[in-house]
Chains A and B, each alone.
Chain A
Amino acid sequence: MVNQVLFPALVLGGIALVLGAILAVASVIFKVDTDERIGQIEEALPGANCGGCGFAGCSAYAAAIVAGEAPLTKCAVGGEKAQAAIADIMGMAAEKVEPKRAFVQCGGDCDAAALKFDYNGISDCAAAMRVAGGPKGCEFGCLGYGTCVSVCKFDAISIKNGIAVVDPDKCVGCGTCVNICPRHVIKLRTTDKKSDIKCKSTDKGALVRKYCKSGCLACGICAKNCPQGAITVDGVAKFDHEKCVGCGTCVEKCPAKCIELA
């Protein structure tokens, strides 16, 4: 009786022990050496997997850094802190990158911009673009169907009164919205409180006035008044941020009120 229970139990236990030993040996023999720096870098990265660096995610970027295929500066989300940590792990010097934020180059909200027609289709900018170039009278401005909102991993963009508005506190500058916007109306810019224009329209001033109250008329008043000579007008006002000191003269003088310090 005892034999009938004890013996099989012992043999089974023995087999299990042997199997365990085989697995233990196998785990040593078949050990795959992975570079431990990959794991360390992954921890230093924010783990948002936003894809702003151009890789499939934080771990793919970490592997690329270790393989020497990617620069340390690609992660906009982690900013300087993550970069310093990665540079430390890799034994390299950190390069300085200025933090960037998304900036919507359009002020044509529902009050300012005229519509060509009523659009009742899919609530997506790319889809709206397909219908005669979108319902907005302006061919350059934000369509306001929130494709950027849906791709933002950081909940930093919202549609307010018909145009995209970026929350500068939440935006990390990953650039996902810049790439998805079918109108290319969002850009990344530094957060140095210098003048920038919320309009991309290069149409003639008279035409702009017809479809948008806050569009750049290319009148040149800002350029004439700028004490630093930082503004040139070529269909639309352009700002040289090397020269601009953020005095705010152009913001005051602009008749369309489409310049702001961002």
Chain B
Amino acid sequence: MAAVKETVETVGEVEKYKYGFSTEIESEKAPIGLTEDTVRYISAKKDEPEWMLEWRLEAFRRWKNMKEPTWAKVFYPTMDYQNAYYYAAPKQTVAPESLDEVDPKLLETYEKLGIPLEEQKMLAGVAVDAVFDSVSVVTTFKEKLKEAGVIFCPISEAIRDYPELVKKYLGSVVPVTDNFFATLNSAVFSDGSFVYIPKGVRCPMELSTYFRINEKQTGQFERTLIVAEEGSYVSYLEGCTAPQRDENQLHAAVVELVAMDDAEIKYSTVQNWYPGDEEGKGGIYNFVTKRGDCRGRNSKISWTQVETGSAITWKYPSCILRGDNSRGEFYSIAISNTKQQVDSGTKMIHLGKNTSSRIVSKGISAGGSSNTYRGLVSVHKKAENVRNFTQCDSLLIGDKCSAHTVPYIEAKNPTAILEHEATTSKISDEQLFYCMQRGVPEEEAVALIVNGFCRDVLQQLPMEFAVEAQKLVGISLEGSVG
């Protein structure tokens, strides 16, 4: 309820993609194109140990022989992987020790994005790791987290400071050879976040990462790894924006989550990459592999995503329910407008006994967009007493968009109980008239109705994100009626 409460004040300020500015900062880039040398360049820039370089090179060799997948319902011109930059970093000679040492222009950018980086403003209790193009700029609240024993740092730092942990878990959920984009990421990932919650610790604050692509023609390949040890809990938030550019930019991230016995990870995303203009020119190609491994008994992983941006979204945050009694959840709002294409959903792989999963997907298509839910619920032979509930609702606005639902179900154990519900609806003229008769202007009325449609999912978001997400709903549907 609280989630929808502020809808109106917030959607009132709708405007076009407001994160479309770029920041003039001198940057340092890898030579254009992708070769073994590029991989070595990135690894050297990061001052990485030999084992990491080898890991990357292995991925690169594999990737060269892989083909881009074509099964998704998205269409785009062939990408030229040799005509892109794989590493760009704001130029800075020494790594910053504190905020005072960070380029003020960078801080200004984050301010424009509404991320309060200064610790004074951080009393709300959100620790932020901000990734600007390829490097992590600053991680706030490090000290306080350290006291609790929580590690939250750029992954490049973790590779140097906690090599044993990284070695143990990196690639253990999403293997190097998992898929074309994940393998590419393994070769060239430049930064991202690393989170480690020790046994029995409840992370004292929400952790947050903000990603921004600033440089032209740059891909962003961040890598996030979160490990929750026995009996621990963490809530992690991720936000993304990019400047408006005419060319398409690739974003191929990999996120790996590991939850041990009785641990819980809550992972929330508000994705607002630049979606391209009204004719479909420009925008981010978002090809992301996110997977959580409920490795321990009674563990729980919950994905909540609000996807409003990107020209193309290809994303299936999944759960491997390995531990007995473990639980996976996926709550999703995917909004597409203009020429955006979304192919998103989840995979719930039930391996352990008494595992359960819940999928709630809300797809909203407007303009000339295409919105596909693609999901897999798989029950393995030895997984007794599995429960799954899936609900896929699609809402259409206008008559030029489309919604598709592609659920796959594989049940190899007869004790499984799987439920699937799907609905498709349109915003009715009656609803619009009713809201407007009460004084709500048309676009605000659409946002109100859509926020109502998404309520089940918005309620899953942490408070700070819920408000932003509602704003985004309004902004991304701007111009979809009338």
Q: Do A and B bind each other?
A: no
Give B residues with C-beta under 8 Å from A: none
